[in-house]
Structure 1
């Protein structure tokens, strides 16, 4: 499925570009994500997603396939697999930055493929969740960019064996809570229907036994 999101940050485009490539700095703004290692091109880490009472953890890598500073365009290819299951997630994320009213407009296009439990929600729900998560990321990023910093150059890339320490425990992305009550209600109806169908089948089997 293809998703498209846009947001703005209150800094010049060159500053925003450097910030988005500073994985250590923006890691706390990425919902559900933990960054373990970063060598300047490849990020290794995990993402936690909560589906009802079940928490699914995807572990994998994200590789910067393109970093065009002159065009302010980056392409990130991420892939992961459930640590306890067969589900997978793969995304090609293309981000472009442009000037807007003294700040920076960020456009993100994502080609996403998901298998496993989260896939049951379909494109509509995942798009709603994506909108809210991007909004949370943008707000967090804007706050961090407004914080004073002594850095005048991009941070030196971490060595592959050097971990990125999270500031606080990472909370999983709660699909039902993030999507909102209307979506949760639809999911609950589907689940209830499935349970009733299962009970009906068992009753029929019992009568014919």
Structure 2
């Protein structure tokens, strides 16, 4: 499944680039993710996701496989295995940055190729795209913050809450439906 996100960030391209090159920061900026080890361009990490009362833990490894600062392009790949199950996921993320407004702002384009194996649920690309939009928006916003990731960026217990993301998504469907009826 391929997802695309684009966002204009309130930071120069150099700040966003430097933050994306910090593999520990990437882990701290995404809900439920944690990078535990970094060795050059390779990393080890984990993601904790909640589905109602059920918690799922994934352990994984990844690499920054492309860094082209002149073109503003970076690519990161990772593979994870569910700790207590058969689920596996692979992810390939490509970030492209373009300066905007006299180099004071940056347009970030993030393309994510995601493959889930062994999960009993099947999500449509449109549903996953809409559910991921606020998560990626938050992630990219944190990539534009100079200095350390703010402590307030951490969620309640540090988990990616899939129910809350789905609830937010279905709430947006209801708002969209109400707005269409008003027209």
Q: How many residues align?
A: 165
State how far apart, in whole Å, the 2-side matches of 1:26 and 1:64 are. 11
User: Structure 2: how far apart are the matches of 1:22 and 1:80?
Assistant: 20
2:117 matches 1:130: no
Q: Which has the higher helix share?
A: 1
Q: Distance between the aligned counterparts of 1:113 and 1:60, measured in 2?
A: 14
Give the superposition deviation at 1:9: 2.2
Whether 1:179 and 2:166 are equivalent positions in the alignment is: yes
Aligned 8 A contact 1:128 1:179 in 2:
no
Q: Report the secondary structure of 2:31's partner residue.
A: coil
Gaps of 5+ in 1: 149-166, 187-209
Q: Which has the larger radius of gyration?
A: 1
Structure 2 residues without counterparts, runs of 5 or longer: 149-153, 174-183
RMSD: 2.5
CA contact (8 A) 1:51 1:118 kept: no
Report if the CA contact (8 A) 1:31-1:173 is conserved.
yes
Map Cα deviations across residues 133-152 of structure 1 (whole Å, 9 max, x no partner): 1112133333x32x59xxxx
Partner SS, residue 85 of structure 1 = coil
State whether structure 2 residue 84 is matched by structure 1 residue 96: no
Distance in 2 separating the partners of 1:6 and 1:112? 17
Report the structure, 1 or 2, having the larger strand content: 2
SS at structure 2 position matched to 1:120 = coil
* Displacement of 1:64: 1.0
SS at match of 1:99: strand
Paired with 1:176 and 1:170, the residues of 2 have a C-alpha distance of 14
Alpha-carbon distance, 1:86 to partner: 0.2
